[in-house]
Structure 1
Amino acid sequence: MKSVVKFQLSLMMFLEFFIWGGWFVTMGIYLPNTLESSGAEIALAYSTQSWGAIIAPFIIGLIADRYFNAERILGFLHLVGAILMYQMANANEFLVFYPYILGYMIIYMPTLALVNSVSFNQMDNPANQFAIIRVFGTVGWIVAGLVISYVFHWDSEENVAQGMLRNTFLMTAVASAILGVFSFTLPKTPPGANRSERISISGILGLDALKLLKDRNFLIFFIASILICIPLAFYYQHAGQFLGEIKLGNPAGKMTIGQVSEVIFMLLLPWFFARFGFKKTILFGMLAWILRYLLFAYGNADELAFMLLIGIALHGICYDFFFVSGQIYTDAKAGNKYKSAAQGLITLATYGLGMLIGFWIAGKITDYYASAENVHDWPDIWMFPAIFALVVSLLFVLFFKNEKIVYNS
């Protein structure tokens, strides 16, 4: 891969995840403090990610795999996203805010599959090359959190009270506009499917990638992807709220420790693949979820704060070893014709179905363990995702047969 292409793909990944990290972590703080949103409304806002992910494969299958270059679609979606993000910054109540965030997530979630497709199209050995590119996405998320907490201090108690977290949406709008324009300069990623082929309903909707589920191992992986995202939803929806409620300062900045860890383990991922294979690598990721939630359950903001920080730092293993490994595995299974649709399918399984169910379950459990003063029994809450992750891990060990990944270019 040429150096200029590496730079383009790395900057694309940086901006893609800078955008997501620039508002997603702190929205759980912003909504109740600025828009006076209820817990149900917060869960509703976060669940838009899942609806976007559910719709994403249909968009990708319709246009990216058959009609238009992936990089052009990516640019268009981010330009529209910049407008919607600006509107979110100016919403003064949840009923106004919600339609914009729903529209935005329907626009944004397909881009996760598109950046992967653009990247994989330039690689002849993704198992070794993808991690180096993808790590810049993690760096982007880290930079967003550090800017919020330590440059502008938008998540400080005083600034939150003044509604300063609104600026995170403006920052994201600018970044989205930049990526939208930049995307049109990316390497060409033409459709993989032949547009002259007879078009079926499943082909139009991108459902041809469902043929991958006939492979027993991929089916087990697909189901595990859905189930493991239920405990993941607890982290995304409630970790920031948890850290703020127990008075651990600078929650957005503290949570970037997880992304720093993600950089380290992203770079180690090729070695783990070579040394342990796909099954053990992804299993390490599942087991890390169990340990993380146990640390959250028994840690506190005082003398046991180190347990919380270790739990956050485990994000590198939790995310890289399951989700990035899964993206590489999916690309290897899909072959050239349905790369984009397959990435959209796994996005549906993880950020769509799994997290939609997870957000709902997490909201119900968190509300159940809330007092009349809206103070939560966090140790009991965190035990639920820990136990669930343990069950998923055991099922994966029993039913997934180890296999060597062979990449089909």
Structure 2
Amino acid sequence: MKLLKNYVQNFLNRSGSYVFTAAVVSRGLSFLASWLALQLIPNKELGVVLFAYNIIAFLTPFGGLGLNQSLVRYGALLKNDEDKNNLFVYVFKKGVLVTVGIIILIVIFSYLFPFKFENTSNYLALLSLVLIPLFVLNIIQIQFRLKHNNKTFSKADIIYNLTLVISVLIFSYFYQEKGYIFAIILAPTVTSILFFKKLNINFSIQNKLEIVNYSFWKYGFYSGVTTVVTNLLVAIDIILIGHLMENPEMVTAYKYVSIIPLSLLFISQAFIATDFVAFTEKINDKKYIYTYIKSYMLLFSLISLLIFGFAFLFSDAILSLFSKDFVIYSESFLILIFGIFGILIFRGLFGNLLCSIGKIEVNSYIIGIALIINIFANYYLIPVYGIKGAAITSAILMWFTGLFSYLWFFYLYKKMTVHE
């Protein structure tokens, strides 16, 4: 118990409570926006929009060619706000330009690819526009973090999700699926405009920074690819269900059955977001790292047991919050809940620890292998078991990626030269 107490206390000392609270509120608002869309838009039409949006969702981290990730890493190395502002201006200008190019490619692809669902091409082309405001909002939030203004960083996240809820309610009510698409684009646009002014950056003055070189772009690109492949691992279920079952209502069902399991990841994300800098700074202190690992795994093992117990008892009631039609998928829901524990306990921690020791590419290899397995497994399981087959595949791969991250971290960490 002392181990847990110290771990939680250290988390709170690093303002973890504020980050966690903001994450809870944002998740709740995001959940509400999804629920409103389900109530206001027919399942068939909503399924087509969700099918298109999932394609955009896994491409979102590649907006700006991953320069937002370069801003995080290299911006943290800069000593003064003036240099950080200059770097932001560079990333903003180059990132938006690159994102426009990506949007053009998506639009061309959307009208060349023979999608099976009607209007998919139009929806995909329209939704691609969200890449620009999402990229801008992301680098704005990163800039607040670089200046140690976590309060405004978290506030921007809450405002974004609140704007999304209001927009979905209004525009989906009047314009159904077209209004939903507009709301998705409007929310990050409005939030970006509101918080852009708070940065107080002079765009007319910019000095060339030495860190902006080939390595800067390479890091961003590599990070973007890694995140895209990770997101594709999640999105591929929706895409393959739509492709193999040819029923947009099944796409909608799986999307909402998986919302709560995937939303639970915010718990570990809040802890890692708070502690990442701390354990990276002490990555060569084996005693500290091992203590952190034990504390984290103990806490999230207990959290996982509590979550599964609650989900097992109330799965029908939870799914009926969306629609009574989804209760028949309670078994798939529980399978996904169990799978998520592989991320909460293992991958969430050890994937980030691999980044801390400079081995981010290992994450890419693990996720890449999992993606290949996912595609082959789902091509067999989805036609046989429906969305339950997709849930089984996802759950197995969540544990696969988590355990392999765990094994690779300890293998590589023991090889490091550690300063005692």
TM-score (norm 2): 0.48
| Greater share of helix | 2
Which one has the largest radius of gyration?
Answer: 2
TM-score (norm 1): 0.49
> Relative CO higher for 1 or 2, CA cutoff 8 Å, sep ≥ 6?
1
